Amino acid sequence: MSEIAMTTAQPSQAGLPRDTLVMSARCLRLSARTLDALLTSLLLPVLLMLLFVYLFGGAIQTGTEYVTYVVPGVLLLCAGFGAATTAVSVSSDMNSGIIDRFRAMDISGTALLAGHVAASLVRNAISTALVLGLAFLIGFRPSAGLADWLLAIGILLLFVLAMSWLSAAIGLLAGSAEAANGFTFLVMFLPYPSSAFVPIETMPSWLQGFARHQPVTPMIETIRGALLGTPIGNNAWLSVAWCAAIIAVSVAIAAVVFQRRTA
Amino acid sequence: MAIPLAISATDLTKSYRGQQVLCGIDLNVPVGSVFALLGPNGAGKTTTVRILATLTKPSSGTAQVAGHDIINDLRGVRRSISVTGQYAALDDLQTGAENLRMIGRLAGLSTEQSRQRATELLAQFDLTDAADRRVETWSGGMRRRLDIAASLVVQPLVVFLDEPTTGLDPRSRLALWEVIAGLANAGITIFLTTQYLEEADRLADCVALIDGGRIVAEGTPAELKRRVGNSRLDLDLVSDDAFMSAIDRLGARATYSDRAALSISVPTDGSASHVRALLDEIDPGHYLLRQFTVHTATLDDVFLSLTGHVGGQPETEHTNV
């Protein structure tokens, strides 16, 4: 071993934006190299799409081509699942030695979690593009203009952002990656009792109340309205309100829990 | 105030769920020295490091690291230290170079500076060949070296090394010792914990023995060894009766005894006359003793005589007389 030379490089002041950027690059790189998780997050949406359209599609009557009806639901389902895997990556970070190094370097918890959320946004952008591409291939013909597309994508992005922050908070709370993984299943099921796959009127009455008022429904209705021209009403505002509330609560929980988990 | 202190701790305690793991630790580590906290598993070594490195809050007590208070000036401490824990704190899925560049960026270096510093460090730690392989494919020794390299991306005033060589094979351990000695030569204050007496002996200017959350002895390795005599006489008795009679005669002088193995250890200055006198005293009739050996005292003996149990390292040198 040669003599250890000390650095002469002078570090600049620490900064949250820079740390977040570095953390995002790190999380993206880790995502790209976690092959099994990557394949799941890319293949699952494709399989779900085919499953709904070809397996269930023939039996479900929605008044339109089922593929047209179901695409917004599949998009949301996949985005929810994709975002929820953030819980697993945050949790495995918290249980690894690197968290101590970050803390001893005075990296804020916000930067670390924001990095995970940013990686989740990128992952989901890719899987969403994949689902949409497939949808077009199998007959999805929306009647949307540019503004409609922007609205649909905006809502989807907001949903991914909200679910990713929520997952990050859950990832901090979960004792282990396995426990965090349980959360992803919960999120997978949330879109089912909504208007995502079947019209709410076809559900038993006790479920209709939940289905109408849970956060996924206004988002589905907004995306569907934007892409297919069905009435949106106040669903867009409701979606934004839901997402904003989820983000606010999750960021607050994350900040508190990160301090406590690491104190 | 004579020597400037890199670390000073006063009466640190820590309890987890009602169980006290540190019972009042006082430490003074001069700037530029190598300090070893030596003790068995569960003695409180890691807890002490975590408290000094601001990763855990003490239940009571105060400490300053590099002139900053560990409770009121967390930031100041964190800017002055680096910590290498028992488990390599790096991303397995990133390459060695990527890990170091990431740490460089987080430490505030520019992209270009980070790249340069990573290349330099990889070369200095003999890791250039593996630089672009993912860390998951690296050996334990390589990971520890990378971990220490990561601690030096920007120059810390104090480096904490928590059991840097635990679980390494002898060759990797030697390589790591060289690395640590190199850091010491560069003038960095090093606070290291270890279960290996040999390691503390070899690297440290000052050693504190910790057992059950208490410092039981402190001094230079030479001072500590002097406390138990320069050498140690190991006796092998012929029978249980012989063992009991020898124990009777020696009383408190026996620093170690094992009835089942019929063996006793006694400190000696190592001179022929002293050893002869001891043997005659224990075994005047010349029939109780099967065998004896004289060892140069190790920190093991210090540990044994102070705590009544062995540290970590098995015995190595035996000198038959």
Angle subtended at Cα B140 by Cα B134 and Cα B141, rounded to the nearest 5 degrees: 105
Query: B289 and B198: one domain?
Result: no
SS (H, E, C) B120-151: HHHHHCCCHHHCCCEHHHCCHHHHHHHHHHHH
- The contacts of residue B174 (CB under 8 Å, 6+ apart) are none
Q: Read off the pLDDT of each residue in A143-167 and give the average, rounded to a whole number.
A: 92
* Residue where a domain stops, chosen among B196, B219, B242: B219
Task: Tell me whether residue B258 is exposed, middle or buried, using C-beta atoms within 10 angstroms of its C-beta: 0 to 12, 13 to 18, 19 or more.
Answer: exposed
Contact B94 A30 (CB under 8 A): yes
A7 interface with B at CB cutoff 8 Å: yes
Q: Read off the pLDDT of each residue in B280-303 and give the average, rounded to a whole number.
A: 82
| CA gap B74, B76 in Å, rounded | 5
**Is the model's pLDDT at A9 over the cut of 70?**
no
* Pairing outcome for strands B206-211 and B189-194: unpaired
A261 interface with B at CB cutoff 8 Å: no
**Is the model's pLDDT at A60 over the cut of 80?**
no
| CA gap B181, B174 in Å, rounded | 11
A143 interface with B at CB cutoff 8 Å: no
Read off the DSSP letter of residue B314: P
A105 interface with B at CB cutoff 8 Å: yes
Angle subtended at Cα A136 by Cα A133 and Cα A140, rounded to the nearest 5 degrees: 140
Q: Read off the pLDDT of each residue in B201-230 and give the average, rounded to a whole number.
A: 86
Cα dist from A126 to A50, A69, A121, whole Å: 18, 22, 9
* Residue where a domain stops, chosen among B158, B192, B219: B219
Q: pLDDT tens digits, residue range B35-80? A: 999 988 888 999 999 999 998 899 999 999 999 999 999 888 988 8
- Which pLDDT band holds residue B253 (cuts at 50, 70, 90)? confident
A104/B213: higher pLDDT: B213
- The contacts of residue A96 (CB under 8 Å, 6+ apart) are B87, B89
Closest-CA distance of chain B to residue A5, Å: 8
ipTM: 0.83
Query: B302 and B198: one domain?
Result: no
A148 interface with B at CB cutoff 8 Å: no
Q: pLDDT tens digits, residue range A198-257? A: 888 888 888 888 888 888 899 999 998 998 888 888 999 999 999 999 999 999 988 888
Q: pLDDT tens digits, residue range B103-127? A: 999 988 999 999 999 999 999 888 9
**Is the model's pLDDT at A8 over the cut of 70?**
no
In a domain? residue B51: yes
- The contacts of residue B67 (CB under 8 Å, 6+ apart) are B76, B80
In a domain? residue B312: no
Within 8 A of B179 by CB-CB distance, chain A residues are 1, 4
**Among the partner residues B75, B91, B124, nearest to A98 by beta-carbon distance:** B91
Within 8 A of B106 by CB-CB distance, chain A residues are 19, 22, 102, 105, 107
Could you tell me if B179 and B151 are in contact, meaning their C-beta atoms sit under 8 angstroms apart? no
Could you tell me if B93 and B43 are in contact, meaning their C-beta atoms sit under 8 angstroms apart? no
**Among the partner residues A11, A26, A96, nearest to B109 by beta-carbon distance:** A11
Query: B72 and B30: one domain?
Result: yes
CATH of the domain at B26: 3.40.50.300
- Which pLDDT band holds residue A159 (cuts at 50, 70, 90)? very high
Q: pLDDT tens digits, residue range A106-133? A: 888 889 999 999 999 999 999 999 999 9
Average pLDDT, chain B: 86
**Is the model's pLDDT at B316 over the cut of 70?**
no
Domain count across chain B: 2
* Least confident among B105-114, B187-196, B308-317: B308-317
Q: At residue A244, what is the residue type?
A: A
Contact A7 B55 (CB under 8 A): no
Query: B57 and B95: one domain?
Result: yes
In the block, which residue shows the tokens 């001094």? B219
Could you tell me if A224 and A144 are in contact, meaning their C-beta atoms sit under 8 angstroms apart? no
Comparing CA positions, the residue from B294, B87, B27, B51 lying closest to residue A97 is B87
- Number of other residues whose CB lies within 10 A of the CB of residue B25: 25
Q: In this structure, what token pair is assigned to residue A74?
A: 């599949």
Query: B215 and B234: one domain?
Result: no
Contact A104 B83 (CB under 8 A): yes
Q: In this structure, what token pair is assigned to residue A94?
A: 């918290």
pLDDT score for B122:
94
Query: B106 and B242: one domain?
Result: no
Contact A101 B150 (CB under 8 A): yes
**Is the model's pLDDT at B313 over the cut of 50?**
no
In a domain? residue B160: yes
Q: What are phi and psi of A255, to 5 degrees?
A: -60, -45
**Among the partner residues A3, A33, A96, nearest to B182 by beta-carbon distance:** A3
In a domain? residue B316: no
| CA gap B144, B232 in Å, rounded | 35
Closest-CA distance of chain A to residue B238, Å: 51
Query: B215 and B248: one domain?
Result: no
Query: B206 and B231: one domain?
Result: no
Query: B205 and B145: one domain?
Result: yes
**DSSP letters of B41-93?**
TTSSHHHHHHHHTTSS--SEEEEEETTEETTT-HHHHHHHEEEE-SS--S-TT
Contact B55 A100 (CB under 8 A): yes
Mutate to test the interface with B, among A1, A29, A34, A258 (most CBs of B within 10 A): A1
Query: B102 and B155: one domain?
Result: yes
| CA gap A157, B13 in Å, rounded | 49
In the block, which residue shows the tokens 């409180």? B44
**Is the model's pLDDT at B7 over the cut of 90?**
yes
Contact B106 A263 (CB under 8 A): no
- Which pLDDT band holds residue B317 (cuts at 50, 70, 90)? very low
Percent of chain B with pLDDT over 70: 93
Q: pLDDT tens digits, residue range B293-302? A: 888 777 677 7
**Among the partner residues B54, B81, B124, nearest to A4 by beta-carbon distance:** B124
Contact A101 B155 (CB under 8 A): no
Closest-CA distance of chain A to residue B5, Å: 21
Query: B88 and B166: one domain?
Result: yes
CATH of the domain at B274: 3.30.70
Instruction: Give the three-class secondary structure for B290.
Output: strand
Residue of B nearest to A93 (CA): B91
SS (H, E, C) chain A: CCCCCCCCCCCCCCCHHHHHHHHHHHHHHHHHHCHHHHHHHHHHHHHHHHHHHHHHCCCCCCCCCHHHHHHHHHHHHHHHHHHHHHHHHHHHHHCCCHHHHHHHCCCCHHHHHHHHHHHHHHHHHHHHHHHHHHHHHCCCCCCCCHHHHHHHHHHHHHHHHHHHHHHHHHHHHCCCHHHHHHHHHHHHHCCCCCCCCCCHHHCCHHHHHHHHHCCHHHHHHHHHHHHHCCCCCCHHHHHHHHHHHHHHHHHHHHHHHHHHHCC
In a domain? residue B268: yes
**Is the model's pLDDT at A12 over the cut of 60?**
no
| CA gap A190, A194 in Å, rounded | 8
Furthest CA-CA distance within chain B: 79
**Among the partner residues A2, A29, A98, nearest to B89 by beta-carbon distance:** A98
**Is the model's pLDDT at A79 over the cut of 50?**
yes
Residue of A nearest to B54 (CA): A104
Contact B152 A103 (CB under 8 A): no
Q: What are phi and psi of B25, to 5 degrees?
A: -100, 130
Comparing CA positions, the residue from A211, A210, A233, A205 lying closest to residue A221 is A233
**Is the model's pLDDT at B255 over the cut of 80?**
no
Contact B103 A105 (CB under 8 A): yes
In the block, which residue shows the tokens 């607050």? A252
Percent of chain A with pLDDT over 70: 94
* Residue where a domain stops, chosen among B165, B199, B219: B219
Which residue range forms the structural domain that includes residue B246? 227-307
Q: Between A and B, how many residue pairs show a Cβ–Cβ distance under 8 A?
A: 110
Query: B266 and B209: one domain?
Result: no
Instruction: Give the three-class secondary structure for B315.
Output: coil
Q: Read off the pLDDT of each residue in B177-194 and give the average, rounded to a whole number.
A: 90
**Is the model's pLDDT at A61 over the cut of 60?**
yes
pTM of the model: 0.79
Could you tell me if B142 and B130 are in contact, meaning their C-beta atoms sit under 8 angstroms apart? yes
Comparing CA positions, the residue from B158, B8, B189 lying closest to residue B79 is B158
Residue of A nearest to B126 (CA): A1
Within 8 A of B56 by CB-CB distance, chain A residues are 263
Closest-CA distance of chain A to residue B52, Å: 11
**Among the partner residues A13, A34, A96, nearest to B108 by beta-carbon distance:** A13
* Least confident among A145-159, B42-56, B261-275: B261-275
pLDDT score for A244:
96
Q: pLDDT tens digits, residue range A82-99? A: 888 899 999 988 888 888
| CA gap A86, A47 in Å, rounded | 21
pLDDT score for A2:
46
Within 8 A of B123 by CB-CB distance, chain A residues are 2
- Number of other residues whose CB lies within 10 A of the CB of residue B230: 14
